[in-house]
Amino acid sequence: MNRDQFTPKKEDRFTFGLWTVGNRGRDPFGDAVRPPISPVSIVKKLSELGAYGVNLHDNDLVPFDATNAEREKIVREFKTALKDYDMQVPMATVNLFFHPIFKDGGFTSNDPRVRAFTLQKTMRAIDLGVDLGAKIFVLWGGREGIEVDASKCALEALKHYREGINYLTEYVKDQKYDMKFALEAKPNEPRGDIYLPTTGHMLGFIATLDHPEIVGVNPEVAHEQMSGLNFYHGIAQAIDAKKLFHIDLNDQKPGRYDQDLRFGSESLKPMFFLVKLLEESGYQGSRHFDAHAYRTEDEEGVWNFALGCMRTYNILKYKAKQFAADKEIQDLLQELATERGKDQYKLDKYDRNTVGKLKEAQFDIDALSKQGAKYEQLDQLVNELILGVRTRVASKDENLVAAASR
> How near is the Cβ of 64 to Mn ion at its closest, in Å?
21
Catalytic residue, chosen from 57, 160, 288, 292, is 57
DSSP 21: H
Q: Is 210 a catalytic residue?
A: no
- Rounded distance, CA 274 to CA 333, Å? 19
The answer to whether residues 229 and 215 touch, using CB atoms and an 8 Å cutoff, is: no
**Gap between the Cα atoms of 293 and 20, Å rounded:** 8
Least distance in Å: CB of 226 to Mn ion? 8
Distance (Å, whole) CA 57 – CA 17: 8
Contact between 129 and 95 (Cβ < 8 Å):
no
Please indicate whether residue 251 is annotated as part of the active site: no
Q: Under 8 Å CB-to-CB from 15, ≥6 apart: which residues?
A: 51, 52, 53, 54, 55, 88, 90, 91, 286, 287, 288, 289
CB of 209 to Mn ion, least distance (A): 24
From 258, 264, 305, 313, residue interacting with Mn ion (rule: CB under 5 A) = 258
Q: Is 226 in the site for Mn ion (CB under 5 A)?
A: no
For Mn ion, how many residues bind (rule: CB under 5 A)?
3
* Between 224 and 260, CB nearer to Mn ion: 260
Q: Does 260 bind Mn ion (CB under 5 A)?
A: yes
User: Contact, 259 vs 222, CB < 8 A?
Assistant: yes
Catalytic residue among 58, 60, 248, 260: 60
Q: Which is nearer to Mn ion, 290 or 326 (CB)?
A: 290
Is-contact 196 208, C-beta < 8 A? Answer: no
Residue choice 168, 206, 222, 315 for contact with Mn ion (CB under 5 A): 222
355's enclosing H/E stretch is helix 355-360
Decide whether 77 or 193 has the Cβ nearer to Mn ion: 193
Shortest spacing between CB 164 and Mn ion, in angstroms: 22
Region from 13-21, 52-60, 129-137, 221-229 binding Mn ion, contact rule CB under 5 A: 221-229
Residue nearest to Mn ion (CB): 258
Parallel, antiparallel or unpaired: strands 91-93 and 136-140: parallel
Q: Which part of the chain contacts Mn ion (CB under 5 A), choosing from 9-17, 110-118, 215-223, 341-349?
A: 215-223
Q: Which residues form the catalytic set?
A: 57, 60
User: Which residues of this protein are in contact with Mn ion, per CB under 5 A?
Assistant: 222, 258, 260
